[in-house]
Amino acid sequence: MDHSRRNFLKKATATGAAILAAPAVFGTGALAKQQKAADATTPFKLKYAPSMGMFHEHAGNDIVDNIKFCYDMGFRAMFDNGLMGRPVEDQVKIANEMHRLGMELGPFVLYADFSVTSFVLNKPEIREMLVKKMKEGIEVAKRTGVKWALVVPGRYDEKLHRDFQTANVIDNLRYCCDVMEPAGLIIVLEPLNTLHDHQGLFLNGIPQAYEICRAVNRPVCKIVDDIYHQQITEGNLIPNIEAAWSEIAAFHLGDTPGRNEPGTGEINFKNVFKYIYSRKYEGVLCMEHGLSIKGKEGEDRVIQAYRECDSYEI
């Protein structure tokens, strides 16, 4: 075991003891402390994925150190929305460390321009732009091994009937799939709420995204279900996840109100996670949220929150 690895295991044990501040149920003394440390570093049941740098107060600013820290805390996935914009050498560094530890890399943002109409239009120049963007995403996937590329279809057009826009989105996604399918890179469409955060966007609900994916009818066109957004837009989370299950390839997480870690808002994440686990889900759940408390204490609280939500009975 190398020196840096020993340091991280030492740090992991110390952090594990800190985050499990609840009363011991295994007795007192040395045995209880050992059990707490083991519980704090045991792999989670699901692949909750911290963002790169989420625990920088504990792990510092080095990418590899952050990945190691997350692994030592029991996480078996990570995600990086900005992966595409990182230098190639950083992309390779992330890929190598994730591969070494057997971790999964969640979706990166491939196309999400909230300021323009794009997918909703039937224009050759739009298709050319999207095809070029897809090819760029494939190069990132080749370097990193990432399986999913996040796409937001952009704004709706107030001058065009919504049904025509839907048909155009479907057609444009098929062009994108023609590029992605040979490479095996999966487009995940993200519906975003327009009630609080993203007014004017075309795609804003799981039923709508499901309809589009079924119409595109390609194995590389799926949904990322952002639970924060969907609680705001339509609620009824578990029934909607169940109804759209065949088209969901990934999840984003965040409680509401506040968009922070589970337990800070109104969502019963323990029940949601239990349902997702019951479906034998093996994909990634990206922790796309903030911290309700600043500093190391806030990072400890995030880890503890996921331990609490992951403690459902199987």
Closest CA to 247 of 173, 156, 161: 173
Single out the residue of 209, 216, 214, 213 nearest to residue 234, CA to CA. 209
- Establish whether 190 is a catalytic residue: yes
Contact assessment for residue 140 and residue 94, using Cβ atoms and an 8 Å cutoff: no
CB crowding 237-259: b at 16 or more within 10 Å, else e: beebbeebeebbbbbbbbbbeeb
How far is the C-alpha of 47 from the C-alpha of 251, rounded, in Å?
A: 10
Catalytic residue among 104, 190, 247, 261: 190
Please provide the distance, in angstroms rounded to a whole number, between the alpha carbons at the two ends of the chain.
34
Candidates 104, 247, 261, 288; catalytic one:
288
Q: Which residue has the tokens 């990945």?
A: 67
Can 288 be counted among the known catalytic residues? Answer: yes
Enzyme catalytic residues: 190, 288
